[in-house]
Structures are given as C-alpha cells and as structure tokens.
Amino acid sequence: MTGNIQWQVKTFNELTTNELYDALKLRVDVFVVEQACYYPELDDLDRHAETLHLYSYQDDVMTSYLRILPKGTAYPDYVAIGRVVIAPCARGKGLGHLLMSQALTACQNHFPGQSIKISAQEHLEAFYNQHGFSRVSDMYLEDNIPHIAMLKAEV
C-alpha cells in the first residue's frame, strides 16, 4: 500500500454500508479464515450505541480496523479495545502502531480518565507493552488461540 492513510472513527449508525462490509470482510478474512478460527464473528457489541469503529483506508482498501467498547460492554469496569486487525497487504510497515496510537487518542477523546482492558493474543504482548499495556493474567485459550488480559491505566 502506498497511498495516504485516511483514518475514521465512527459509531455503528454512522458507518456506510461499504465501510461496514469492508470492516466485516477484513475481520472474517483474518480472524476466521487466515487464523482458521471458527467462531461467531458477529456479536451484538458492534451495534452498541457508544461502540466506536476505528479504521483506515489506503488506496481505497481498508487496511486496519479495531473497535472500542465503552465501559460496561465487554468488561464491567473497563473500556475495551478489540478486533485489532491489519490487512495482509499492509503488514510490516508500522501500521499496527499507528492504529493503536489512534485508538488511544480516540479513547482519551471519547472515554477520558478510564482504564482500558484488552484480550491480546499472547505473542503480541511486547507490541502492546509499547503502548502502555501491562499483562494482568496467565495465558488462557480464546477460540483455541493463546491470549492474555492486559490493562492500560487511565488515558
């Protein structure tokens, strides 16, 4: 990908049909097909009124996506960041770090003063450490993939 990165943060109701399709396709292509992890990708958390969908386009291709769930949605006491994904065509260029920086800014703007919890794939612990997250659990299997819980203090 060589084009400029175009970032968007929207609620479910603000997404266009094409944006929703692109986000769901990217998530299914990576989480279900590439990772051979068969689970119900569509949960009702996407449609929560305060859920934020953060994504980027480059050359008219959605190259990154994540969602931010308000406190009380995924975790009773924490904002959550999940479904973090980089398109295969855009990997290895630092886009994941840009995506997380954008996510933390969005959390600060929309959910100031709240801590963030993530369920991270265990092999990405060092990546999330670079963004201020600390491991707070032993490894557990989520959809047969090793995960850990991580927290970031108030943003």
Is residue 122 one of the residues assigned to a domain? no
Cβ atoms 70, 79 nearer than 8 A: yes
Q: For residue 83, what are the domain limits?
A: 6-110
Nearest Cα neighbor of 42 from 72, 79, 83 is 83
Give me the number of domains the chain comprises: 1
pTM above 0.75, yes or no: yes
CATH of the domain at 52: 3.40.630.30
* pLDDT per residue as tens digits for the range 56-112: 999 999 999 999 999 999 999 999 999 999 999 999 999 999 999 999 999 999 999
Cβ atoms 24, 42 nearer than 8 A: yes
The encoded tokens of residue 14 equal 């603000």
Is residue 117 one of the residues assigned to a domain? no
Is residue 133 one of the residues assigned to a domain? no
* pLDDT per residue as tens digits for the range 25-65: 999 988 877 887 777 778 889 999 999 999 999 999 999 99
| Distance, CA of 132 to CA of 16 (rounded, Å) | 32
